[in-house]
Structure 1
Amino acid sequence: MGNVYVEEDVGLMDITTLGLGIGACSGVMEMRAKESLTLSGCAPVKEILQHLGLAFSFDVHEGEAVGAGERILQCIGNAKALHQAWKVSQNLLEHLSGVASYTKALVQEAKRGNADVEVVTTRKHFPGTKKMMLTAVLSGGASPHRLGLYDSVLVFAQHRVFLGDKEALARHFWELKQKFLEKKVAVEVENFQEALYFARIGADILQCEKMGEKELKRCVELKEKFPHVLISATGGINVNNAQATAACGVDLLVTSSPYFAKPKDVKVTMQPKEKR
């Protein structure tokens, strides 16, 4: 079975390497960080290198800090395999290390505002990248907010429109809690009045969507009357406002911003093995 990343890039053949007649030459490829970063992407890169039959060694591992100029990886093999591994491996390390590095910075900013706050990421990653993105997020010190529709209960306004008036809503809400007794039930709320209502009917988590600091603090104060309730802030959370939002006293910051982080630069060099 092939490797999807290699097959997408190589297609039928690498016509440059083939045309130059260098495919059988033995060579060494190294990847080094051009800037400081938190490393991610090791697992899919290892799969690529193993698929292509390259000998390789990582100098650093998933989630570790890498300084500018430090070597990440060395590969040895024929030029054909090295060139097939080059760009896809570099892309994965750069993009995923960007996510991990941004996540780490975001967590640090949040902890400056509230040492007890947890940063969690949404499922707003590009489809098909869940495993890699969540690995990068974990490497940066955050956690997944939801793995998917199957692992947690989160009631949105888009659900509530089908449930009728408040009496019907409360009945359906109770039935939901009863059906999934082991699950905490989260509800997205847009203002203090919605937060108060759902706290009263038994919500476990109030997910406060795009609230200003004043209203968010009012929602946090609900914990005095409803001590079982957790308060999460979501909508536009990023490295620039994480500290101030966390300082409002929320339990969780829910964010998608790491998925759109700028990639980190990784430098690739290659040379014939016999010249080393």
Structure 2
Amino acid sequence: MSRLSDSLLDQLLLQDVPLGDLTTEGLGIGARSAEITYCARNPMVLCGSEEAGRMLEMRGVRIDHLLPSGRMLAAGEIFLSAQGSAQSLHAVWKISQTLVEYLSGIATRTRRIVDAARNVAPETVIACTRKNFPGTKEVSIRAIRAGGGIMHRLGLSETILVFPEHLAFVDEPPDIWMTKLRAQAPEKKIVVEAATVEAAEQLIACGADVIQLEKFSPQETAVVVDLARRQRPSPVVAVAGGVTEDNVGAFVETGCRLIVTSAPFFGKPCDVKVTLKPC
């Protein structure tokens, strides 16, 4: 699983404590020995625990207990505990708690979609889009992977994905522009989005490697999956747009085994209880 860099974690810490902790320093309690524990208030897929632990270690804190990202936690389960000075623990407390809450929220929603899909067909792949909040790509990728998903596309430089918005500027038929794309990037697959069954059928006939169905119904998806199976070699069919935990099973039942979704990025963070006290 990907690892967030210490430089990124240090930036997060500096955002929260740029010039010291006025409260802890003003009360004169910074040198006191203290302990901190983190636990899940509700069942959740854990993500970001290693980063929380590293932020504590970066402030000279000793880790006593740490569970890994990707672990399914029960309500009340402790996943991180540590000891150090009150000043260090207060400096890391909120930023580490918030990071784990947000990442675990994404990981938990991902796992729910993965489980719902694989209850129908275990080989189904859940691929999450790049519609993470801008500036959070590294942490978002970590959360998606902790939940059992993969990234659909990291950016424009990574894959060829032809949208109707591209084709609005192209006057040639699909077989011609696909040939040009293959010549420009012979090691890349050609992924093309289709908005109708008729468009998908034409793209299949022209040899697209992946047909991405945008906001298709399960019934329309089943038609395209059947068309793709008749083609040799058969293209991959991916469903995208509007896929959630509640409807993913219906799409998998069509025979589609690649599900593209943004749903894990949108929802509430998980709730993590932190206890910080003298020891």
User: Contact 1:60–1:66 (CA<8 Å) still a contact in 2?
Assistant: no
Q: Which of the residues 93, 96, 102 maps onto 1:86?
A: 93
Match of 1:229 in 2: 235
Matched positions, count? 271
Work out whether residues 56 and 92 of structure 2, in 8 Å CA contact, stay in contact via their aligned partners in 1: yes
Contact 2:43 2:73 in 1 (8 A): yes
Q: Contact 2:204–2:228 at 8 Å: present in 1 too?
A: no
Q: What amino acid sits opposite 1:210 in the alignment?
A: K
Q: Which residue of 2 aligns with 1:242?
A: 248
Residue in 2 that maps onto 1:220? 225
Residues 88-127 of structure 1 mapped to structure 2, 5 A cutoff: 88-127=95-134
Letter of the 2:15 partner, please give it.
E
Provide closer, same or farther for how the CA distance between residues 222 and 72 of structure 1 changes in structure 2, counting only shifts above 3 A.
same
Q: Which moved more, 1:21-30 or 1:58-67?
A: 58-67
Q: For 1:28 and 1:163, locate their aligned partners in 2 and report how far apart those are by CA, in whole Å.
A: 63
User: Given that residues 203 and 229 in structure 1 are in contact (C-alpha distance below 8 angstroms), is that contact kept between their aligned partners in structure 2?
Assistant: yes
Q: Is the 8 A contact 2:49 2:66 kept in 1?
A: no
Letter in 1 for 2:243: I
> Could you tell me which of 179, 185, 194 is aligned with 1:189?
194
SS in 1 for 2:119: helix
Post-superposition CA distance 1:4-49 (Å, at most 9, x none): 1111112222111122111111100111111111110134323321
Which structure 1 residue ranges, 5 or more long, are not aligned?
none
Q: CA deviation at 1:256?
A: 0.6
Residue 180 of structure 1 aligns with which residue? 185
- Superposition deviation, residue 253 in structure 1: 0.7
Which residue identity does 2:273 align to in structure 1? Answer: K
After superposition, residues 1-276 of structure 1 pair within 5 angstroms as 3-166=10-173, 169-227=174-232, 228-273=234-279
- How much has 1:172 moved relative to structure 2? 2.2
Q: Which one is further off, 91-100 or 216-225?
A: 216-225
TM-score by length of 1: 0.93
Q: Secondary structure at the match of 1:250?
A: coil
Deviations 1:108-159 (A, max 9, x none): 1112233332111011111222122111111111111112222221111121
What amino acid is the match of 2:125?
E
Residue identity opposite 2:22 in structure 1: I
Residues 55, 230 of structure 1: alpha-carbon distance in 2 compared, 3 angstrom cutoff? same
Aligned residues: percent identity?
Answer: 35
Q: Which moved more, 1:89-98 or 1:171-180?
A: 171-180
- Amino acid corresponding to residue 155 of structure 2 in structure 1: G
Q: Give the Å deviation of 1:224.
A: 2.8
Q: Is the 8 A contact 2:113 2:248 kept in 1?
A: yes
Alpha-carbon shift at residue 183 of structure 1 (Å): 1.8
Alpha-carbon deviation of 1:75? 1.7
Q: Name the CA distance, whole Å, in 1 between partners of 2:115 and 2:250.
A: 12
Once the two structures are TM-superposed, the CA of residue 267 in structure 1 deviates from its matched residue by 0.6
Residue 61 of structure 1: SS of its match in structure 2? coil
Superposition RMSD in Å: 1.6
Which range moves more in the overlay, 80-89 or 8-17? Answer: 8-17
Deviations 1:175-218 (A, max 9, x none): 11233222221101001111011111110110000011221111
Paired residue secondary structure (2:80): strand
TM-score normalized by the length of structure 2: 0.92
